[in-house]
Amino acid sequence: MNEERYLTFALAKGRLADKTLELFEQIGIRCQEMKDKKSRRLIFVNEPLKMRFFLAKGPDVPTYVEYGAADIGVVGRDTILEENRNVHEVLDLGFGKCRMCVCGPESAMELLRHRERIRVASKYPNIARDYFHDKKCQTVDIIKLNGSVELGPLVELSDVIVDIVETGSTLQENGLQVLEEICPLSARMIVNPVSMQMEVLRIKALAAQIRSRLEGGEQ
């Protein structure tokens, strides 16, 4: 007799994890221990449902899922595109909505329009490279930054930046604007390819429950 194995979830720390747990609670999946901010536990278990959960930094979530340390992950689509891991993207969870954009001073619009060689600063060099080299066929020099990329054009490190835009207020306060939109972003559910085969019924049932809840909430 085969004992049902645990289904393991890797959740991106912060707002996405909070929103995910809230959504899971709405479909009957609870893990009270995860709400205890003082807890030192790294792995949280829902024994009746045979589910395990852990929190990870966003960029690490696709790695855990690709290598099978987690069956399912919840992370922003920006991270999925940037990390480019071998995972199945199965569901748009609809929260954490924002945009990946090319931003800069208004004067940089001409550089983009004429596809001149420019310098691009970004926390997302792979997304920037894919957009400029593969989609626009524009030659650019990409500069990887980890901090406030808005500084790039202000100190003449770069002509434009590629970054996430939510409200655009930081851009406006620094004389920058959205010049081109690359793609919309939101939280996504990703699945390990092997888990998708071995646990296809459980994962499809979970995805169906979540999809039904999301569609019901939109009505």
Tens of pLDDT along 129-155? 999 999 999 999 999 999 999 999 999
Complete edge-to-edge strand list for the sheet that includes strand 98-104: 140-144, 118-122, 160-165, 98-104, 177-185
Average pLDDT over residues 46-58: 95
Enter the pTM of the model: 0.91
- The residue written with tokens 């987690």 in the block is 70
Give all domains of the chain, ordered by start, each with its CATH number.
Answer: 7-96+186-218 (3.40.190.10), 98-184 (3.40.190.10)
pLDDT at position 1: 41
Interatomic CA distance for residues 117 and 103, integer angstroms = 16
Burial of 95 (0-12, 13-18, 19+ CB in 10 A): middle
Tens of pLDDT along 10-20? 999 999 999 99
Tens of pLDDT along 67-120? 999 999 999 999 999 999 999 999 999 999 999 999 999 999 999 999 999 999
